[in-house]
């Protein structure tokens, strides 16, 4: 496993841990009888972060096998890491403050969630495009 893959794996485990920890407030929201919107937000944070981290682990597992240069591997790893942390911040904060972050409108907490979501989306798109290129070049 090369250096970009090892970095990706490390950060995937951190994002995975954040996702697992988001399961505690998710369960608590259910037990308290919180609104469906609040429960949905915690379910999204918990499930999405665990699935996203699992995807990062899968990419890390094959990254060293791709027939591309170090720059492409670092772009895949770095953008996947940025995406993971963008969502690892945005999704739990969104559930906690009750904002969805779908636009950059006020209040400040919504703008913060929007920024994290935007980082997560843009970085994951970059990762997917470079990963597609790397897979194509490795055929």
CA nearest to 79, candidates 112, 45, 113, 128: 128
Helices (H), the chain: 3-21, 23-32, 36-63, 70-97, 108-137
Mean pLDDT of all residues in 72-93: 98
Task: State which residues form the domain around 23.
Answer: 3-137
Total structural domains within the chain: 1
Burial class (CB in 10 A: 0-12, 13-18, 19+), 54: middle
pLDDT-derived band of residue 37, with 50, 70 and 90 as boundaries?
A: very high
pLDDT band at 137, cuts 50/70/90? very high
pLDDT (0 to 100) of residue 116: 98
Percent of the chain with pLDDT over 90: 99
Chain-wide mean pLDDT for the chain?
97
Q: How confident is the model at residue 24 (pLDDT cuts 50, 70, 90)?
A: very high
pTM of the full structure: 0.96
Q: What is the pLDDT of residue 56?
A: 98
């Amino acid at each position: 496993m090369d250096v970009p893959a090892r970095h990706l794996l490390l950060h995937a485990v951190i994002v995975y841990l954040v996702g697992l920890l988001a399961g505690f407030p998710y369960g608590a929201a259910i037990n308290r009888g919180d609104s469906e919107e609040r429960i949905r937000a915690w379910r999204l944070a918990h499930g999405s972060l665990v699935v996203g981290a699992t995807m990062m682990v899968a990419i890390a597992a094959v990254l060293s096998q791709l027939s591309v240069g170090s720059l492409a591997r670092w772009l895949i790893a770095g953008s996947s890491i940025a995406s993971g942390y963008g969502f690892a911040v945005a999704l739990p904060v969104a559930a906690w403050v009750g904002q969805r972050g779908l636009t950059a409108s006020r209040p400040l907490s919504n703008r913060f969630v929007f920024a994290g979501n935007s980082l997560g989306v843009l970085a994951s798109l970059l990762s997917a495009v470079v990963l597609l290129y790397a897979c194509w070049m490795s055929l």
